[in-house]
Structure 1
Amino acid sequence: MNLCYDYAGQTVLVTGAAQGIGREICRRFCAAGARVIAADIDAATLAETVAACGGQCEARRLDVTDRAAVHALIAATGAVDVLVHSAGGVCGQAGRPLEIITEADWRRIFAVNTDGAFWCAQAVAPGMKAKGRGRIVLISSGAGLGVSLTGIQAYAAAKAAEIALARQLGHELGPFGITVNSVAPGFIRSNPSTERQWQAMGEAGQARLMDTIALRRPGEPADIAHAVLFFASAEAGWISGQVLSVDGGK
């Protein structure tokens, strides 16, 4: 339940909504009364998000790397009150020596993480400016503040760029009543990719990871969703350009 937040009458767009963190964010906003647009490139799995939201959200297939598609979705949806860019990830890649990384590998991760964040913010900004208010929340990563557990150079760099983008856009859009912030999750067991990472660590590796976390547990999608709903709320109206680490304590 969302006891503190009421988003009735607001339209919330969540990218990367087909699973894990994005799905939980959709579920929480629906529970708080928002009209939720759940967007993801994986149209089939989006149906599971709709079911998790009790049929209350609207599923839209979207490739966030396609600028024209992003702008077309916003044109069809209408003005958005809250944008949560949760799309991203490692695009199926694993850590490898930098000498063998191809241009396509590098650019693909930047396209879905950083480029996607920019295209989405660019598309929703005019409607938010017209209203004189808005909230943009970018889901970055602890990898953008430190070192990536995956060892993927492009992922760490792209997430650092998202954090810098939130800071820059917060400064640019503040005069229009729009806040822009970033949530940087620690290790979250949220989807098949992170489950594979968790299992690949083995018991010893899992124990070592838990020893680095003050609360001695991996995160859950709900931990991130709580932070997002706060940043999107009226209570966070004088917070912008910030990054909040939600990592169990380091």
Structure 2
Amino acid sequence: MNISFDGRIVIVTGAAHGFGRAIAQGFASRGATVHVCDINAAGLEETVKLCGPNTSAHVLDVGSRADVQKLVPAFGDVDILVNNAGGVRGQVGRPIEEISEGDWQTIFDVNLSGAFFMAQAVAPAMKKKRAGRIINISSGAGIGISLTGIQAYASAKAGQIGLTRQLAHELGPWNITVNNVAPGFVRSNPTTEKQWEAMGEEGQTRLLQNIALKRLGSPDDIAAMVMFFASDYAGWISGQIVSVDGGK
């Protein structure tokens, strides 16, 4: 299966490391013009170096609708949007009674509101040309539970899955597909490295034993599913959530 994105304009959020960087590299290596967005400017510059000259970096907080609306139109007629920005914003699992309003909201801002604001910004151009791909990156936490016990993260990712299904039906008449990749646990960034270490040897062994393939995946495994959803091969697939987790 030869997948090419020659001439396509792509946005990847949360592209300063991990999944987002691997996804950006996947598109760039297949001929796309890629706009990578994140709040981490240094990480973005490293991503651009790895992707090559057809990639540009943009510091963006996707949780700010005003900032999104200001930046995205400058990219022109975007063909593909990958909503990868997310994470736990440095939080760890705590009892429900200890969670402040700010703790709750900041995770929703990046994981759910950001995906909505970005989709909202690209929809007019996609509707105009009656074509487009939107791929959201959720998590196994949105389907089941958060391994780290972070209530807002599990809730926001579940909400993003609901948003995927809703937008698939709203945008489908314009030949815009909306799909979702739900990764399992992957050691892909400083946060997941800390989570892995915190599990200890016993917890790590237990996690691996609960995976059918008995091993962890890599960011490239997630990027591969995104490439498929974004390709012409997935033209009649929409509203779907695919777990890329080694089998559960």
TM-score (normalizing by structure 2):
0.99
Tell me how far apart the structure 2 counterparts of residues 14 and 36 of structure 1 sit (CA, whole Å). Answer: 7
Which ranges of structure 1 fall in alignment gaps of 5 or more residues?
none
Which of 192, 195, 198 aligns to 1:197? It is 195
In the TM superposition, structure 1's runs of 4+ consecutive aligned residues that sit over 6 Å from their partners are: none
- Aligned residue for 1:60, secondary structure, equals strand
Query: What is the root-mean-square deviation of aligned Cα atoms in Å?
Result: 0.8
Structure 1 counterpart of 2:138: 140
Tell me how far apart the structure 2 counterparts of residues 75 and 184 of structure 1 sit (CA, whole Å). Answer: 28
- Aligned residue for 1:39, secondary structure, equals strand
Q: CA deviation at 1:217?
A: 1.0
Structure 2 counterpart of 1:173: 171
- Aligned residue for 2:5, secondary structure, equals coil
Tell me how far apart the structure 2 counterparts of residues 214 and 202 of structure 1 sit (CA, whole Å). Answer: 21
- Aligned residue for 2:36, secondary structure, equals strand
- Aligned residue for 2:133, secondary structure, equals strand
- Give the fraction of aligned pairs with identical amino acids, expressed as a percent: 62
Q: Report the residue type matching 1:145 in the other structure.
A: I
- Aligned residue for 1:125, secondary structure, equals helix
Which of 48, 51, 70 aligns to 1:50? It is 48
Task: Name which of structure 1's ranges 71-80 and 10-19 shifts more when overlaid on structure 2.
Answer: 71-80
Tell me how far apart the structure 2 counterparts of residues 5 and 106 of structure 1 sit (CA, whole Å). Answer: 39
Q: CA deviation at 1:76?
A: 1.2
Which of 104, 107, 111 aligns to 1:106? It is 104
Structure 2 counterpart of 1:249: 247
Tell me how far apart the structure 2 counterparts of residues 106 and 219 of structure 1 sit (CA, whole Å). Answer: 29
Q: CA deviation at 1:204?
A: 1.2
Pairs within 5 Å for 1:12-27: 12-27=10-25
- Aligned residue for 1:181, secondary structure, equals strand
- Aligned residue for 1:38, secondary structure, equals strand
Structure 1 counterpart of 2:26: 28
Q: CA deviation at 1:143?
A: 0.2
Q: CA deviation at 1:150?
A: 1.1
Which ranges of structure 2 fall in alignment gaps of 5 or more residues?
none
Pairs within 5 Å for 1:107-126: 107-126=105-124
Structure 2 counterpart of 1:96: 94
Tell me how far apart the structure 1 counterparts of residues 58 and 242 of structure 2 sit (CA, whole Å). Answer: 28
